[in-house]
Structure 1
Amino acid sequence: MIVDWIVYGLIIWGLATILNKTAFKNAPASRGVAWGLTILLFFVNVVALSAAKFLRYQVISEDIGTTITPSNPLDMGGAFVFAYLFFSFLNKKVKVKPEQ
């Protein structure tokens, strides 16, 4: 599972880099757009990481000859970590503090 996380982390980093060099090249993403993309990516992460976990257990089951399944098929922790990484890698507009 660690190898899956490393590969998936590199994919997330690559996606953020591509967005930074194309869509957000001239102007950084607004906070709303960055949060919207992060929320969308969170749900994509849940599906992708859960599918990877399910397929990994299926391969292991076939190797040992008995059916085993993950106790919790949804990988919410991993989805949160990768969504946070995506948000931190994305170029965002700097938050301006009002002067007093």
Structure 2
Amino acid sequence: MPIWNCGGCDLPWPCPTRKRELRAEYAGAPVSLALYLGSYLVQAAEDMPWTPAGALHRRFVGWIRQTARPAQAVQRRSKSAAPDRYERQ
């Protein structure tokens, strides 16, 4: 059965080198990268049924968000745009 090791370095796939390559290849398309790796996650789960699902998730897709850009800061409303309190008439 395949054990999903890198053909170049024999580390678990995706190895650090392949992760860098995937980040570059899918730059600006994180959803496409997640779908691509998700399909491999399903195949690996079939090939390695003894491996815990959480370990496979971390290995195949868990690292994607760690390298994503931080979320944009939420802009605060200015007091002139939204009053602190509404007055009753």
Question: When the two structures are superposed, what TM-score results if normalisation uses the length of structure 2?
Answer: 0.48
**Bigger relative CO (Cα 8 Å, ≥ 6 apart):** 1
Which has the greater radius of gyration? Answer: 2
Structure with greater helix share of residues: 1
